[in-house]
Structure 1
Amino acid sequence: MGKDYLYYKYSDFLKKQYLAKVYKLPVNLPVTCPNRVNGQGCSFCAESGTGFEAMSAEISVTEQLMKTQEFIRRRYKAQKFIVYFQNYTNTYLPLGSLRKYMEEAAKLPDIVEIAISTRPDCIREDYLDVMEEIADTCHISIGIELGLQTANYHTLKEIRRGHGLAEYLDACLRIQKRDFLLCTHAILNLPGDTLEDVIETAKIISIMGNHLVKAHSLYIARETEMARLFETGRLEIGTKEDYFLRLQTFLEYLSPDIAVERLFSRIPEAEALFSNWQTSWWKLQDEFLAHMEAHKSFQGKRYDYRNGPALKIFDDR
C-alpha cells in the first residue's frame, strides 16, 4: 500500500463529488459564539475565532468571495468553489441574517457548496429548513461542520466547551435526515484525553454518518485560558510521536468512507505560543505518512465494531 492510499484524502472526495478542481473560500461573518456570550468561551479559543485565514467580517460576503476567488482561480486553476463560513459559530445568527448571507454567497458564479462551521448546540430544524430551501433553489450542496473536539464529556466540561456529547448526537441525527454533507472536527491530544478517548471519538464520528472529518493537533493561541496554563507550566502538550500514535489510531478506527480534510492544525506563527512542535505542517504530514507505512497502518484497519461484532462467533456454526 503506497502512501497515497493510507487514508481517504479530501481532494479525492472533492473530485468524486464535483468532477472538477474545487477550492474552499473562507469567509468571516459578523458573528460570535454562545459560549462567549454566556461565559469566557472555550479555553483554547482565540479572539479570531479561527477566522484568521479570511478577511475582516466588516467586508461584505460578496467582496470577500470575489477577491479570494479571483486569486485562487488564477493561482491554482480552480474551476469550482466552496464558500466556507469559518469563524466562530455561523448559525448563531438570527435566521433572516443567515439566510441573507447564504443567498448572497450562492449567487456568485461557480459556487457548488456552502460549508457552515458551527456548534452542536446551534443546530435547529428551522435553520436546517432554510439551508435545505437554499440548496434546492440555488442548486448547490450544503455542508455542516460541527466542532465536537472529543467524545469525552468530562474533557468537554474541562475545556469549557459549553455542550456535552448528547448535543452532538442530536445535531447529527437531525442533519442525517437532510441531503447535507456532515463534517466533524476533533482535537486528538486535548489535556486529559487518553488513547481510549481517541478511539471512542473515531467510533462515534463513524457511527453518526459523517462524510468528512478534520483532525486537529492542539495549538496554544495567545491570550487564551490554555495560554495562561501553558505559560505557568500547568499544561503540558504531548510529544510529536504521541500525536502520531493518536492520529494513526484515530484513522484505523475511522470508517474508510469518511474523507479526511485535515491531519494537523494551522495557525499563524505570530498568534501561537505553541503549534505543531514548531514544525511546518507539510513536513509533519510527510513524517506521519512515513510513520503509517512503517506500521503497516491505514484508515479503517480496525473498522470492525458495527453491526453486532460479538455475534461473529456464530458465523461458522
Structure 2
Amino acid sequence: MEVYYKYSEHLKQKHGVKTYKLPLNLPLTCPNRDGLLGEEGCYYCGEKAAGFESKPDDSIRQQLTELKDHIGQRYNAEKFIAYLQNFTTTYLPLPKLKEYLQKALQVEDIVEITLSTRPDCLNEKYLEGIKKAVHSRDESISLTVELGLQTVNYHTLKRANRGHTLAQFIDAVKIAQEFDFEVGAHLILNLPGDNREDVRENARILSALKLDTVKLHALYLREGTEFGAQYEAGKLEIISLEEYKDRVIEFLQLLDPEIAVQRLLGRAPREGSLFVNWGRDNRQIHQEIVAEMEKRKVQQGEKFDYLGGRCLQKFSS
C-alpha cells in the first residue's frame, strides 16, 4: 500500500496513460523584482528562479520537443504537460501569454497546460482569457495553476519578503476553481520562523480549500540572496534533516488523502548554492521518508478528521 497519493497516479487516472511534465522556461520576471512590489525578490530566490531544467533563450517548441523526446524515451511517457515554471508566468500581458500557449499547443501529445505563478497575479479576466485561448484550439486540454504559497504563516511570508498574503492565496484558489482550473500549491516546510504548528496548518488550509495537488520543498540557499547572506553570517539556521522528515510525515497525515503529492522535497544545482538538502541526494531522502512512514505504519490522510463540524461528531450515533 502506498503511504501517500502520488502525483504520477493522479495523472494516470486523469489522462489514462503515463504522463510527464515538460518544464518550459520563458523570459519572464516577477512583481517582486521589477519594482512593482519590490526589487529584491523573495529572500531565497536566485536569479534563475525555479528554471534549472531548460534554457529560456530556446524557442518554446524547441524546448518542448527536445524534452518530450528525452523524457518520453527515458520514462515511456505517452502524454505530456507543458509546464510554464519560472518566475511568475501570469505576470505579463494576456495576449503575450496566449501567444506562448498557442506555440506550446502546436507540440503533439500535449494534454495539459500548467502555469506556475504567484497568488497576487491571477484574476477572473485573465483566467477566462487563458481558458478561451486554449479551449478554442482544443477543449480536451486540462488547465492547472500552481500557486507559490510557501507557508500560511503571514509573519514568515513577510520575513521571506514574499510580498503577498494568505488572503490573496485563498482568493486565487477560489477564482481558479471557479474557472475549472486544477489548483496546486508549493510549500517550503522549513522556512525560518515556521514551526510544527505552521506545518499542521499548511495541511489544514490546503485540505479545507480542496486543492488538487501539493509540491513540497526543503529550503535551499543560493549565493547572492538575502537568506544566503544571513546563513553565511550565522544569522539563519536550518532545521535538521530528521526534523524535516518528521514535518513531512506529520503534514501528510493531516492532508486530505485526495490531494495528490507531487514531491516530498525538491532539488537544486550544487553550483552557486550554499545549502541544498543537507548535502544529500533528494531521491535518497524521499526513500527514507517513505521507509519511515512504513515503519511507523502511517499514511496520508489518517488524521484528516478536523473539517465538517468536527465537534458535532460527539452527537453521532
TM range (shorter): over 0.9
Alignment equivalent of 1:32, drawn from 29, 33, 37: 29
Is 1:100 aligned to residue 124 of structure 2? no
Counterpart residue number, 1:48? 48
**CA deviation map 1:14-43 (0-9, x unaligned):** 110111111111111111000111221100
Deviation larger for 286-295 or 130-139: 130-139
2-structure distance, mates of 1:71, 1:249:
36
Deviation at 1:178, TM superposition (A): 1.8
Counterpart residue number, 2:74? 75
**CA deviation map 1:182-211 (0-9, x unaligned):** 110000011110100011111111111211
1-structure distance, mates of 2:61, 2:211:
30
Deviation at 1:259, TM superposition (A): 0.4
State the TM-score, normalized to the length of structure 2. Answer: 0.96
- The aligned length equals 312
State the TM-score, normalized to the length of structure 1. Answer: 0.96
**CA deviation map 1:75-124 (0-9, x unaligned):** 22221110000100000011110111011111211000011000000001
SS at match of 2:271: helix
CA contact 1:29–1:85 (8 Å) conserved in 2? yes
Counterpart residue number, 1:62? 61
Where does structure 2 lack aligned partners over 5 or more consecutive residues? none
CA contact 1:121–1:171 (8 Å) conserved in 2? yes
Amino acid corresponding to residue 248 of structure 1 in structure 2? I
1-structure distance, mates of 2:71, 2:48:
23
Counterpart residue number, 1:91? 90
After TM superposition, the runs of 4+ consecutive aligned structure 1 residues lying more than 4 A away are: none
Counterpart residue number, 1:207? 208
2-structure distance, mates of 1:14, 1:301:
23
CA contact 1:135–1:141 (8 Å) conserved in 2? no
CA contact 2:191–2:219 (8 Å) conserved in 1? yes
SS at match of 2:180: coil
SS at match of 2:34: helix
**CA deviation map 1:114-158 (0-9, x unaligned):** 110000000011110122113422230111000000000111011
2-structure distance, mates of 1:70, 1:265:
23
User: Between Structure 1 and Structure 2, which shows a larger proportion of helix residues?
Assistant: 1
Counterpart residue number, 2:16? 19
Deviation larger for 130-139 or 107-116: 130-139
The alignment's C-alpha RMSD in Å is 1.0
